[in-house]
Chain A
Amino acid sequence: MAGKVTIIVHSGDMDKIYSALIVANGALAMGMDASLFFTFWGLQRLKKGELEKGPLSKMNMLGLGKWMVKRRMKKAGAASLERLLQDFHELGGKILACDMTMQIMGIKKEDLRDDLISDYCAVGTYIDEAKDSTITLFI
């Protein structure tokens, strides 16, 4: 099975980053290509040391909800976001960073995890990736 998954990672919420990385890793594991286009709040998570720092999208309760969910995830044996990101990279997934977000939010290349990022780009690259994709999502 060929095919490709392209996901716009717009949210920086922890649970949504999980969704994006799990779907993307699943696609790679099934033999598809996968690209993640990080923009707006999603791009914040690609800053050095920020991957696990996102709040829960609902019931965060100043971090208490997140703490409870993380505890339950650990108990269930769920992988960390860092492990999922490393696996995604190892399996050949492509990570794209939105350069307009960088401009607006004053993020410099050296603030980001440059070793994991394949390209700094804009909407044209997303469309170019998505037009050949069988699955595309906005998270």
Chain B
Amino acid sequence: MAEIKVDCTGETCPIPLVETRKALRKAKEGDIVEVIGTHPASKKEIPMAVKSLGLELIDIQEQGGMWKIRIRR
């Protein structure tokens, strides 16, 4: 199982969402996609997309305006 990292630091709408989706499409079942970013709305919206896609949200962390979201494909 691979771990795919996506860095969306400094990116704004809709890039974090789009880059997350691109990574999830490339990932194989069981792979973990880790997205980091700073855009506040994306921290709420990436989990919405994960739910819509029927995937597993592993965890969300935030520190000093930077968030990290981990998803299992």
B14–A25 CB distance below 8 A: yes
* Interface: B48 (CB within 8 A): yes
Which residue of B has the minimal Cβ distance to A83?
B15
Q: How many A-B residue pairs have CB under 8 A?
A: 52
Query: Which secondary structure dominates where chain B touches chain A?
Result: helix
Query: Which secondary structure dominates where chain A touches chain B?
Result: helix
Which of chain B's residues have a CB closer than 8 A to the CB of A25?
14, 17-18
Stretch of A26-34, A47-55, A62-70 that contacts chain B:
A26-34
How big is the B interface, by class?
A: 10 to 19
B22–A91 CB distance below 8 A: yes
* Interface: A76 (CB within 8 A): yes
Q: How distant is A37 from chain B, measured CB to nearest CB, in Å?
A: 20
A28–B21 CB distance below 8 A: yes
22 contacts between A and B (CB under 8 A): A1-B51, A22-B13, A25-B14, A25-B17, A26-B17, A28-B18, A29-B18, A29-B20, A30-B17, A30-B21, A30-B48, A30-B49, A30-B52, A30-B53, A31-B52, A31-B53, A77-B15, A78-B13, A79-B12, A79-B14, A87-B18, A91-B21
